[in-house]
Structure 1
């Protein structure tokens, strides 16, 4: 029987320093490019690993807020948001082009990702910030979100993302990291969560309800303390479910 493929992505270059261990177990990566974390050196390091392990490369721009790791919404003008997104992408691209590696996708980070999922003005502004990359580059977006609909309307190619290591609310927003059950940290529980979304196109929310969801790619956060253990468990058990990492 031919195995089905699944794309597992990981946020990297965020100062944790575990990329060498993570890259063999993922198929796409989202590299911090200076907004919430990251430098030219960390970008280069992650790109080298992506090349070594044949992992698809993505840029991971955010609000310009290293103090809060880009995980708090900030008051920023539309013009300044466009400028910072363009600046982060330019820094990323300068390194990437030197190394002659293809840019596969863009995935916004943290609070910016959550905000453009529900705020049309912010979503429109973000799309203006990445307008130069519309052709030939994929945008990772959450299912049925404002940015999902606007991106398609404006001619962007999208892949719908779900989070294998995060719990969901009934409106498909992520449970706040301030809550105890925001993160799923055990490999077996992450795999169950992932398989339900992949196979059944349903997510079991924090209240125990099952809500429809779709996803083409699944995220494991690289800064989750148990990220390595989670990925090791998933890698070991995916073949038992007729799945393998997408090449």
Structure 2
């Protein structure tokens, strides 16, 4: 390896948000290593949680909780201003809900990834991230928190003594500050497979991403998010999986 060249990860995690009522879960599950399962607030219920846990076990995929705002009407993608105790309860109630389902299947929750607006708010808000990390640690200090690379979620989780996985996105564009382009903007999503694969390889092999303005932003890529609700979700999952394997990267839970 040349001097100054970034170290290439030999292992990478592929995660996908599951149990949200999309018809793609069963088709995507064979190509990922971590499943973030909706816990009934922004989507899903005990029945869908059980179905998704069973599917994850079938394909030996790590099970994670995907707690969001209690707002199914907006799929948890609308920001809410809640008190500290309300945020704490939001996380713990959803975690316990999925843990209960997992116990029935003889398995456990391994990680937590906040959903939608909650995730994006926490990424830029130190106080909110600290409350989320505290709720996770109090529930189970062995859990790993998935958060946007270089964000407050990662910093707060590390400060709380939790394991972390810095997350990058295959199908989302980035702003110059390292944040995701808001979904309200027309260029937020990458719907071209070649562009998505190019971004994935840049993030994993160079530990950087090119923003919508053409700037290079360094990041840490430990887990790659694939969205199951995109028009090309299954094709993207297969293509990303195949490309990473072709570049001699082992896909496994972080």
Aligned partner of 1:139 among 137, 141, 145: 145
3-state SS of 1:122 partner: helix
Is structure 2 residue 168 aligned with structure 1 residue 162? yes
Who is 1:206 aligned against? 212
SS in 2 for 1:158: strand
Which residue in the other structure is 2:66 paired with? 60
Which range is displaced more, 26-35 or 185-194?
A: 185-194
Alpha-carbon distance, 1:27 to partner: 0.7
Partner of 2:179: 173
Q: Is the 8 A contact 2:137 2:143 kept in 1?
A: no
> Shift in Å at residue 134 of structure 1?
4.1
Give matches, 1:31-180, under 5 Å.
31-180=37-186
CA distance in 2, matches of 1:133, 1:140: 16
Superposition TM-score, scaled by structure 2 size:
0.92
Report deviation, 1:74: 0.7
Deviation at 1:6, TM superposition (A): 2.0
**Poorly superposed stretches of 4+, deviation over 3 Å:** none
Q: What number of residue pairs does the alignment pair up?
A: 245
Contact 1:170/1:211, CA 8 A, preserved across alignment: yes
Give TM-score, length-normalised by structure 1: 0.94
On the 8 A contact 1:11/1:31 being kept in 2, the answer is yes
Q: Distance in 1 between matches of 2:130 and 2:11?
A: 32
TM-fit CA distance, 1:59: 0.3
Q: Give the match's secondary structure for 1:219.
A: strand
- How far, CA to CA, are the matches of 1:70 and 1:94 in structure 2? 22
* Cα displacement string for residues 99-131 of structure 1 (whole angstroms, at most 9, x for unaligned residues): 111321000011111111111221122223223
SS state of the match for residue 117, structure 1? helix
Q: Which runs of 5+ in 2 are unaligned?
A: 1-8
Contact residue 134 and residue 160 of structure 2 kept, 8 A: no
Paired position in structure 2 for 1:240: 246
- What 5-or-longer segments of structure 1 have no aligned partner? none
The answer as to whether partners of 1:134 and 1:156 remain within 8 angstroms in 2 is: no
Q: Relative to structure 2, which stretch is displaced further, 82-91 or 111-120?
A: 82-91
User: Offset of 1:226 from its aligned partner?
Assistant: 1.0
Report the 3-state secondary structure (helix = DSSP H, G, I; strand = E; otherwise coil) of the residue aligned with 1:67.
helix
| Cα distance in 2, alignment partners of residues 133 and 83 from structure 1 | 11
Q: SS where residue 6 of structure 1 aligns?
A: strand
> Aligned partners of 1:225 and 1:78: how far apart in 2?
36
Q: Does 1:220 align with 2:250?
A: no
